[in-house]
Amino acid sequence: MLGAMRGFHTFDDYISRHGGVLSRAELLRAGWSADEVRLGVQYGRLQRLCRGWYGARNLPAAVKNAWAHGGPLACVSALRFLDVIDDDAIDDHPHVCRPARAHRLRYAGPATIHWSDEAYRSGTRWCVNLETALQQAARCVPDALPEDERWRRPPSHWLAGIG
């Protein structure tokens, strides 16, 4: 059996080689058993990010924090991660992308969730792609956009009814 040969010590190596974030189903397909995954978490050999998702120990803190809310960095958090905007341009709670029909997770602290299947698939498991992040920020936090991207902001008459 493949899982028996893998052992607990290889979880982190395998996850790191495959992008840093993997689902439970992907670990099972790779040969680990459900018991090995459960015991890996229990004995600290496998890092659970949120229900059904696991991450490498060397993941950046921002990515781990986003996955505590169930998905990759989105919007202004992705722009900050990609060094498009400064740290002081936005607040500290993460903006996270989740699939439109995803279930809600237990509360992991304040976050802004962007529900979109297309955006969720747009980038990597670390963050949505740059174009998607810019589009999200234009609707969510338009003042955080870099000066050369401010054309993306909706016209002010669209915002007149929002209060």
Question: What local confidence, expressed as pLDDT, does residue 156 receive?
Answer: 58
Nearest residue to 147 via CA among 134, 157, 136: 134
Q: Element (H or E) spanning 7, and its range?
A: none
Which has more pLDDT, 51 or 143? 51
pLDDT at 9 over 70: no
The SS3 call for residue 50 is strand
The DSSP code sequence of 60-125 is -HHHHHHHHTTS-B-HHHHHHHTTSS-GGGS-SS-EEEE-TTPPPPPP-S--EEEE-HHHHTTS-S
**Secondary structure element (H or E) that encloses residue 18, with its range:** none
pLDDT digits (tens, 9 = 90+) for 57-71: 999 999 999 999 999
For the whole prediction, is pTM greater than 0.85?
Answer: no
> % helix / strand / coil in the chain, to the nearest 5?
45, 10, 40
Per the CB < 8 A criterion, the answer to whether 37 and 46 are in contact is: yes
State the residue for tokens 């998607």: 132
Could you report the per-residue pLDDT of 108-158, keeping only the tens digit for each?
789 999 999 999 999 999 999 999 999 999 989 888 887 777 777 666 555
Question: So what's the pLDDT on residue 10?
Answer: 85
Using CA atoms of 45, 50, 55, 57 in order, give the dihedral in degrees to the nearest 10. Answer: -60
Of residues 68, 61, 63, the one with CA closest to residue 19? 63
pLDDT, the chain, mean: 86
